Amino acid sequence: MPYADAPTIILGADGFLGRNLIDHWHAKGWPVHAVGRAAGDFTDAAVVDRVFREGPKAGRIFHAITKQRTGAIQYEMQGELLRDNSRIHLNILDAWRAHQPQAKLVSLGSSCVYPESPKPLPEEAFRSGPPHPSVRGYALAKETLVIGCETFGSQYGLKWLHCILATVYGPHAHTEAHRSHFMAALIARAAAGRARGDTTFEVWGSPGTVRDLLYATDQIEAVIAADQAFENRILNVTSNQPVTVGSCAEQILRALDWPAQIVQPEGSFQGAGYKSLDSSRFLSATGWQPAFGVEAGVRAALAAGLVQELRP
């Protein structure tokens, strides 16, 4: 039996992760029902209720809708990110219960729900301390989603899984200011600098900053493996292979064959210095391993059109 024999509803189908999910489902020939921005504003409960009521009876619902910004601008919109994302998540939980109770809700989460730590964080670290100040509003909304899945699941007998992801990059990633995560931003900045003939490559923050990183198709395959092995829990879904921002910058230069000097501008935004997840529970149960290293992933992202002017 195929993984997705019944239709899968993908919420956020025209966002970065959503577009990659749709591409993956089409490539596999699995039935999929895409829900993007044209469906309406998911902060409006009536819109969400209609989408779930009129959608096909699904085996799974992938929740990839989020309102997010990156970098220093997050400090200026903490309340907005908390308000809008909390409404989105609560509306989805209500509509799931009312109209798609047979479907397993697989929601895609961020390590921002965990506190800062100098060592990899297991799932037990959830709610063990405050998130980094830059992501407080966004993280609290994600916390609401996790607790909502747990409480709705236990009260109404629903199945769910909340996957905490690595930093993901690849085709369809945001590269614009205040929306791009570090890897897509680095690739886009490097490609633009190389095209201009620059001799330096700006890398913001500290080159020693540690993050988990996965190419988009690797992260999707990891989530599918997790979904087949787990339910009704929060789960770290990464490779246990953290990287530094500096090493990523060096591998981007190699992928572009660009002999630029890496420089760090003073005063550029710096988030948590170390954030890595302990995904031992997931890896032990599934045996999953990523297909792409960093340099190979950069080359694949460029070939797939992450930076359009370098597309073959």
Answer yes or no: is pLDDT of 76 > 70.
no
Considering only CA atoms, which of 209, 161, 200 is closest in space to residue 182?
A: 209
Considering only CA atoms, which of 112, 68, 107, 62 is closest in space to residue 277?
A: 112
- Terminal-residue alpha carbon distance, the chain: 37
Mean pLDDT value across residues 217-240: 98
- Quote the pLDDT of residue 264: 85
With cut-offs at 50, 70 and 90, classify the pLDDT of residue 309. Answer: very low
Cβ atoms of 255 and 299 within 8 Å: the answer is: yes
Considering only CA atoms, which of 161, 127, 167 is closest in space to residue 143?
A: 127
Q: What percent of the chain has pLDDT over 70?
A: 91
Cβ atoms of 131 and 115 within 8 Å: the answer is: yes
Mean pLDDT value across residues 203-214: 88
Sorted by where each starts, the structural domains of the chain and their CATH numbers stand as: 8-166+216-237 (3.40.50.720), 168-210+242-274+291-310 (3.90.25.10)
> Per DSSP, what are the bridge partners of residue 263?
202
- Quote the pLDDT of residue 71: 53
The overall average pLDDT reported for the chain is 91
More reliable by pLDDT, 202 or 62? 62
* H or E stretch covering 299: helix 294-303
Answer yes or no: is pLDDT of 311 > 50.
no
Surface-to-core class of residue 214, CB atoms within 10 Å of its CB (0-12 exposed, 13-18 middle, 19+ buried): buried
Of 122-136, 167-181, 245-259, 284-298, least confident by mean pLDDT is 167-181
Q: Report the SS3 class of residue 230.
A: coil
φ, ψ of residue 305 in degrees (nearest 5): 100, 20
